[in-house]
């Protein structure tokens, strides 16, 4: 039986429900509502609960079962806060949009020189804060995102994302725009931490199917790669963390460069592991190919 139409309808219902329940001034209230939602999800959605615990076992084998379970529950609470903040994004105040930055000199050196920059982030903290951040910085930013399985759901999500100055490019047809935007000194953000079939390289010490698109873009344009993330620090509060830029070494292949990118993503996740999207089956393709 095909459950995708039902899942899409539930997604649309959540978006519409969210506009009524989450778009409130009180961030604490909104997050409490989000946490209640994901607490229910924890008990009803066995597939993603089991996947979350399995991924934490792979990434943090040194933790006891009890510690992994505690992190998984904290992870679901974080996702509830993330959902609430995403739904609130059109109504965020200027004070909420402003976020402290760490390591901003890693980015500013290129922006001040008018160079295009390839930002690399992950499904960590609150990646949906990209639009609010670009607004606060008064910079042009385009994000590459995969369309939802349902066209109407894609439209609704994109409306919320583009309420700020973030421009969304569909991952299936974005190559030309990416190259053009980088050439005129703009920023492109990509989240390359999802299961893929381009190359098989380490992630948390285990081989994972990984896209090599960002490395290919860098090798073609020489736009510097700057890893960054938005980490939650309190109700409605986030801090932006930038890490040192990556530039390809002489003779370095796309796979070699993406190995370093994976290492940067892993390092960012270790800053707040309970804030990563562990319910995604990151090692699925590698497992199916017998690489694990």
Q: What is the pLDDT of residue 89?
A: 81
Q: Global pTM?
A: 0.89
Is it the case that residue 4 has pLDDT exceeding 70? no
Q: What is the pLDDT of residue 155?
A: 64
Q: What is the pLDDT of residue 158?
A: 64
Q: What is the pLDDT of residue 159?
A: 64
Token pair of 71 as six digits: 């992190």
By mean pLDDT, which of 68-77, 176-185, 216-225, 272-281 is the weakest?
Answer: 176-185
Question: Residue 192: phi, psi to the nearest 5?
Answer: -95, 30
pLDDT classification of 29: cutoffs 50, 70, 90: very high
pLDDT classification of 6: cutoffs 50, 70, 90: very low
pLDDT classification of 25: cutoffs 50, 70, 90: confident
pLDDT, greater one: 192 or 155: 192
Q: What is the pLDDT of residue 119?
A: 97
Is it the case that residue 133 has pLDDT exceeding 70? yes
By mean pLDDT, which of 138-152, 198-212, 219-233 is the weakest?
Answer: 138-152
Q: What is the pLDDT of residue 3?
A: 39
Residue 227 domain boundaries: 4-288
Q: What is the pLDDT of residue 286?
A: 95
Q: What is the pLDDT of residue 1?
A: 41
Q: What is the pLDDT of residue 204?
A: 97
Number of folded domains in the chain? 1
% of the chain beyond a pLDDT of 70: 86
Strand ranges across the sheet with 101-102:
101-102, 237-242, 225-234, 117-120, 187-190, 141-145, 166-170
pLDDT classification of 24: cutoffs 50, 70, 90: confident
- The candidate with the shortest Cα–Cα distance to 268, out of 39, 96, 102, 93, is 102
């Amino acid at each position: 039986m095909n459950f995708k139409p039902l899942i899409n309808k539930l997604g649309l219902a959540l978006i519409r429900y969210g506009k009524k329940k989450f778009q409130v001034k009180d961030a604490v209230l909104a997050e409490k509502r989000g946490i209640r939602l994901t607490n229910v999800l924890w008990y009803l959605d066995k597939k993603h609960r089991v996947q979350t615990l399995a991924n934490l076992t792979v990434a943090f084998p040194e933790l006891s079962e009890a510690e992994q379970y505690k992190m998984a529950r904290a992870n679901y609470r974080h996702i509830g806060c993330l959902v609430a903040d995403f739904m609130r994004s059109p109504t965020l105040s200027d004070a909420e949009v402003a976020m402290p930055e760490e390591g901003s000199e890693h980015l500013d050196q290129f922006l001040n020189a008018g160079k295009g920059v390839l930002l690399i982030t992950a499904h960590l903290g609150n990646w949906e804060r990209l639009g609010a951040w670009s607004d606060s910085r008064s910079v042009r930013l385009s994000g590459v995102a995969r369309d939802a399985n349902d066209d109407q759901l894609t439209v609704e999500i994109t409306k919320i994302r583009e309420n700020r100055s973030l421009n969304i490019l569909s991952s299936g047809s974005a190559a030309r725009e990416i190259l053009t935007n980088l050439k005129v000194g703009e920023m492109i953000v990509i989240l390359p931490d999802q299961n893929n079939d381009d190359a098989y390289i380490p992630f948390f010490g285990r081989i994972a199917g990984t896209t090599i698109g960002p490395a290919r873009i860098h090798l073609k344009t020489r736009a510097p790669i700057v890893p960054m993330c938005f980490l939650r620090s309190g109700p409605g509060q986030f801090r932006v963390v930038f890490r040192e830029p990556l530039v390809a070494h002489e003779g370095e292949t796309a796979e070699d460069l993406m190995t370093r990118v994976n290492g940067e993503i892993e390092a960012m996740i270790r800053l707040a592991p309970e804030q990563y999207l562990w319910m995604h089956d990151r090692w699925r393709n590698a497992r199916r190919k017998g690489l694990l």
